[in-house]
């Protein structure tokens, strides 16, 4: 009996444990998507290939198994490149599969002909075109394994139309080619665990930094025990939030600057000393700080500063071993000690500022008042998606996560437009694994504009995403209607309209009317509260809450620039 490339591909993916495909179909992958569904793989049709790539990588992060992004040839694949780069930098497993020009049309101007494998290599760990239908299972296995092994990332499979439609004898296709099964955790060198424990036990001002690598590595249980037993303060990176609850008494996010600047030893668990942690350099860190760096990727060691101890290991077994060593040394900080007292004093001061802003309900609203209201009226176990400039930065501090892998945002690459795609994936994951959990997608108005039509995808698949748009009429900041009219009336519109400005008070909530429903326009905290209460009740479609805030609202003044200049 014959089997074609489409069905070989579908069977191979199914046997490697792939569950979800996000994409946009067209020539030559329409039959491919149908073959996926026929073997029991869930296919979600998106409205933009970038959003499909974002959704596929988010499902990979949430499940630990690569999501697949399916695209058409040429422009379809090229639209995925931004998503591929984001997944590669973010270290999330993603498999991109694109149809391509028939092989007998290559070199003579075939439809949507492009050098797809070559174009993908910069953004992938593995990129290949299977040379024959019989070898599709081999390359599917390698692609899935490459996306997951070591530091997770991207794999690309190029599927020419002639390969997808070619038929071969099914008996000669090794569909059960190989399945590596779950990867065994990498354990640390015991001598390095000893050194790390020795350095920490002598620290006067230790600090634990928890990164999204710890979240992806499912290391929440041992890290929580480590923090609780040693009473060391910890800082989560944005997507490390929830590994240890944000509401833990040992979380010092509200004294972030002080904690980084004054720590004498930093235990870095699955986080990188890149721009998000100011490269580990002065002036944000003490010049003599000792770094204990734990990472699955040894290439990451000593990149911006030399670490005192660099441990190649999965986070979970390292923390288990370290906790035992520290327990043997009876290491535990005193809450009344000088380090904790200094941090608590700074926390109190910063919290007072935030509370004053959050309690200011004068109109138009500021960010803090909006986020305090949102936080109070969404389920505490919500999976929060967030993107934007001030919207995302301020939201990191005010929208709390007490569970791991419950925050998705622009991440290391700082990509705008990820929100709706991430939210689609999160809602699909919730439907299959936690049906009572809600996805709250908090967007700046500029960020929402990148991928806003994925609202139709949410309607089509009946995904109850609560979309909250914090609308300040611009990028970073905007202008009210009167100011915009004055500015645009002073000359040529293209020369007089500020580059950061968007149209004033855009009625994004009216997008709901495209589908026969109503959205929510909010100007006051009472209106936000009422809108959220109504949205939480909706379980079979998305909701849009459009919150108009002060166009000039800003964040708390920073002691240092966020992007610390490198001193190398």
Alpha helices in 288-444 (DSSP H): 315-328, 338-358, 367-377, 390-398, 419-433
With H, G, I as helix, E, B as strand and everything else as coil, classify residue 561: coil
pTM for the predicted model, two decimal places: 0.96
**DSSP helix/strand/coil, 343:** helix
Q: Is the CB of residue 151 less than 8 Å from the CB of residue 296?
A: yes
Per-residue pLDDT at 172:
87
The span from the CA of 236 to the CA of 259, in Å, is 12
Q: 167-169 and 2-4: which strand pairing?
A: antiparallel
CA atoms within 13 A on the CB side of 495: 4
Residues in the chain, overall count: 568
Q: CATH says 190-345 is which class?
A: alpha beta
Q: Who's near 164: CB < 8 A, 6+ residues apart?
A: 4, 5, 6, 9, 28, 29, 31, 32, 99
Q: Are 365 and 547 in contact (CB under 8 A)?
A: yes
Confidence (pLDDT) at 176: 77
Q: What is the mean pLDDT of residues 446-453?
A: 97
Same fold? 2-172, 190-345: yes
The predicted-structure confidence for 502-512, as pLDDT tens digits, reads as follows 999 999 999 99
Tokens of 416: 């705008």
Distance in angstroms (rounded) separating the CA atoms of residues 307 and 316: 20
Provide the pLDDT for residue 485.
Answer: 87
pLDDT(233) > 90: yes
Going by C-alpha positions, the residue among 179, 152, 187 that lies closest to residue 65 is 152
Determine the Cα–Cα distance for residues 417 and 402; give it in Å rounded to an integer: 25
* Token code pair at residue 186: 């990498």
The predicted model gives 251-271 an average pLDDT of 97
- Return the CATH number of 360-548, one of 3.20.20.190, 3.40.50.970, 3.30.70.260, 3.30.479.30: 3.40.50.970
How far is CA 556 from each of CA 39, 356, 397, rounded to the nearest angstrom?
52, 11, 11
Average pLDDT over residues 206-214: 97
CB count, 10 Å around CB of 448? 30
Torsion of CA 197, 252, 387, 537, to 10 degrees: 110
E strands of 163-253, at which residues?
167-169, 206-210, 234-236
CA 400, CA 330: separation in Å to the nearest integer? 32
Query: HSE on the CB side for 20, CA within 13 Å?
Result: 30
Checking if the pLDDT of 568 tops 50, the result is no
Model pLDDT for residues 286-345, shown as the tens digit of each residue? 999 999 999 999 999 999 999 999 999 999 999 999 999 999 999 999 989 999 999 999
Find the range with the poorest average confidence among 156-165, 166-175, 178-187, 247-256: 178-187
- What is the CATH topology of the domain spanning 2-172? Rossmann fold (3.40.50)
- CA dist., res. 181 & res. 490, Å (int): 66
Please state, for a pLDDT cut of 90, what percent of the chain lies above it.
Answer: 92
3-state class (DSSP) for residue 362: coil
Q: How sure is the predictor about 561, in pLDDT bands with cuts at 50, 70 and 90?
A: low
Residue 235 — pLDDT band, cuts 50, 70, 90? very high
Rg (alpha carbons) of the chain, rounded to whole number: 25
Pairing mode, if any, of strands 474-475 and 477-478? antiparallel
Q: 24 pLDDT band (50/70/90 cuts)? A: very high
461-483 average pLDDT score = 96
Query: At 1, is the pLDDT very low, low, confident or very high (cuts 50, 70, 90)?
Result: confident
Mean pLDDT of 35-51: 98
What does 440-487 look like in DSSP terms, one character per residue? Answer: EEEEEHHHHHHHTTHHHHHHHTT---EEEEEE-SEESEE--HHHHHHH
Q: What is the rounded distance in angstroms from the CA atom of residue 93 to the CA atom of residue 335?
A: 40
At 567 the pLDDT is: 42
State residue 558's pLDDT score. 57
Which residues lie closer than 8 Å to 512 by C-beta, 6 or more apart? 455, 518, 519, 543, 544
pLDDT for residue 410: 92
Summarize pLDDT for 173-186 with one digit per residue, the tens: 988 776 766 678 89
Inform me whether the pLDDT recorded for 565 exceeds 60. no
User: In the chain, what are the domain boundaries?
Assistant: 2-172, 190-345, 360-548
| β-bridge partners, 236 | 210
């Amino acid at each position: 009996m014959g089997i074609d490339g489409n069905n070989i591909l579908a069977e191979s993916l199914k046997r490697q444990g792939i569950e979800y495909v996000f994409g946009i179909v067209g020539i030559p992958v329409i039959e491919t998507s149908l073959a996926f569904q026929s073997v029991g793989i869930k296919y979600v049709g998106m409205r933009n290939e970038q959003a499909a790539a974002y959704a596929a990588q988010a499902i990979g992060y949430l499940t630990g198994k690569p999501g697949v992004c399916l695209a058409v040839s040429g422009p379809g694949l090229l639209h995925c490149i931004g998503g591929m780069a984001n997944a590669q930098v973010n270290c999330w497993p993603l498999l991109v599969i694109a149809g391509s020009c028939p092989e007998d049309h290559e070199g003579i101007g075939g439809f949507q002909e492009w050098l797809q494998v070559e174009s993908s290599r910069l953004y992938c760990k593995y990129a290949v075109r299977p040379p024959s239908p019989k070898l599709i299972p081999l390359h599917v296995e390698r692609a899935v394994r490459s996306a997951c092994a070591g530091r997770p990332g991207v794999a690309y499979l190029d599927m020419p139309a002639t390969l997808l439609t070619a038929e071969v004898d099914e008996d000669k296709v090794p569909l059960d080619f190989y399945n590596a099964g779950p990867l065994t955790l990498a354990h640390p060198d015991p001598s390095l665990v000893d050194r790390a424990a020795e350095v920490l036990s002598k620290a006067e001002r230790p600090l634990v930094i928890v990164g999204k690598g710890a979240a992806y590595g499912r290391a929440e249980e041992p890290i929580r025990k480590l923090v609780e037993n040693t009473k060391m303060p910890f800082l989560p990176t944005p997507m490390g939030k929830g590994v240890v609850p944000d509401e833990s008494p040992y979380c010092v996010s509200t004294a972030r600057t002080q904690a980084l600047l004054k720590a004498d030893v930093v235990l870095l668990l699955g986080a990188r000393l890149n721009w998000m942690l100011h490269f580990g350099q002065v002036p944000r860190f003490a010049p003599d700080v000792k770094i204990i760096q734990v990472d699955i990727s040894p290439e990451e060691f000593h990149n911006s500063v030399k670490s005192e101890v660099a441990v190649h290991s999965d986070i979970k077994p390292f923390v288990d071993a370290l906790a035992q060593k520290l327990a043997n040394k009876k290491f535990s900080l005193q809450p009344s000690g000088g380090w904790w007292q200094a941090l608590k004093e700074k926390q109190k001061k910063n919290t007072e500022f935030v509370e004053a802003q959050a309690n200011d309900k004068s109109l138009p609203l500021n960010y803090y008042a909006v986020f305090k209201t949102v936080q109070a009226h969404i389920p505490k176990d919500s999976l929060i998606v967030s993107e934007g400039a001030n919207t995302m930065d301020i939201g990191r501090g005010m929208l709390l996560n007490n569970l791991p892998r419950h925050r998705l945002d622009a991440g290391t690459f700082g990509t705008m437009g990820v929100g709706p795609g991430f939210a689609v994936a999160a809602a699909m994951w919730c439907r299959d694994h936690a049906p009572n959990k809600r996805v709250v997608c908090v967007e700046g108005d500029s960020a929402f504009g990148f991928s806003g039509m994925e609202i139709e995808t949410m309607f089509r698949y009946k995904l109850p995403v609560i979309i909250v748009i914090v609308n300040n009429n611009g990028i970073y900041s905007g202008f009210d209607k009167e100011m915009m009219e004055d500015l645009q009336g002073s000359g040529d519109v293209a020369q007089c309209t500020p580059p950061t400005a968007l149209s004033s008070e855009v009625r994004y909530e009216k997008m709901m009317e495209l589908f026969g429903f109503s959205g929510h326009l909010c100007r006051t905290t009472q209106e936000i509260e009422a809108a959220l209460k109504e949205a939480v009740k909706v379980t079979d479609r998305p909701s849009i809450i459009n919150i108009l805030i002060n166009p000039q609202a800003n964040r708390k003044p920073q002691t240092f620039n966020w992007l610390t200049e490198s001193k190398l």
